[in-house]
Amino acid sequence: MLGHFLEIYPNEIFYSICVRYHNLTGQKNYQGTAKELFDKKHSGRGLFFPSNISVFTDVMNQSMGKNCMNAIDIINNNTIFPLIKPFISKQQKIRLMSSLLSGIPKICGIADLLAIPENDKGVIKFCNKCMKKFLKEREEGYLNRLHQVPGNDFCLIHNNVLSRYEKSNKSGKIINILNIDCDSHVPEKVSKSLQEEKRNFSVDIEYIMTNKLRDESIEIIRKRYIERLAELGFYKIFEFMDYKRLYDVYINFFSKEFLNDIGFYDSDKDYNSWVQDIPFIKKQSSPIRHLLFIRLLFGSAKAFFEDLSL
């Protein structure tokens, strides 16, 4: 079966590649699939942080007798690494890349940065229209990595909210995305204003994940935050930072419903913490928090990173 492996679809998350192979081979549990793809019984299929991708590409290339898969390309095009990369230190980038390639070192700490909202835990997300289209044209579905980003709840192709599908908690069992019943997983209906906020958030995610951004350090990014805060009158160098005013602007810029949906509605007790964490403190912050901060100060991720490259 390896010699006739399926193609990798645009923006397909690596988890989906493994699941589709598993479904096509008819394996009873995932351990057999992992043994074939990674030469191990437990490997590879983490939704956000897979491992041993270099082993996977070596196995596939050897089986097909040609170098058609590249591990770095898969990490950049089929994982959420590009979303995390701008907002972690150089050392963390190296460690995360190494873990994705070889499983060493094991991921710890960075996974917590994703700050997965409660309604995103234990589920995969998909667009009903995308899935129906692929099921009709290809007789199988696949999972888009942009849709799996914690907090993202919108398909930019069809301009609609995503559906959710619970993953199995049984050991060795995984979902069959070759035959998802789209009609029984209808997306939640939301107001036009909330839909627009979800769309804007998804646009920022797509921009970072699909553009080859210059590899700036987190220190340079934080420096630009501080400069922008000064430009907008929130901060005076060597004097003070108006944390309360910044929090009030933040909490009124985004709707409470949207912030609740993505798990980032803070009480007044927390404002002094997060507004310091993002621009000033070297403590790690969720890439989702960075995206909110960027949209608040610069209007969009595109505007921020284009400004940064000047």
- Please give the share of the chain, as a percent, with pLDDT higher than 90: 40
Q: Taking every pair of C-alpha atoms in the chain, what is the biggest distance, in angstroms? A: 66
15 neighbors 49 (Cβ within 8 angstroms): no
CA 255-259-264 angle, 5° bins: 145
Instruction: Say what the pTM is.
Output: 0.91
Q: 114-173 pLDDT, tens per residue? A: 778 888 888 889 999 999 998 888 888 899 999 999 999 999 999 999 999 887 655 445
- From residue 153, give the alpha-carbon distance in Å to each of 7, 101, 144, 150, 160: 26, 28, 12, 8, 9
Token pair belonging to 110: 């960075």
Average pLDDT over residues 275-289: 76
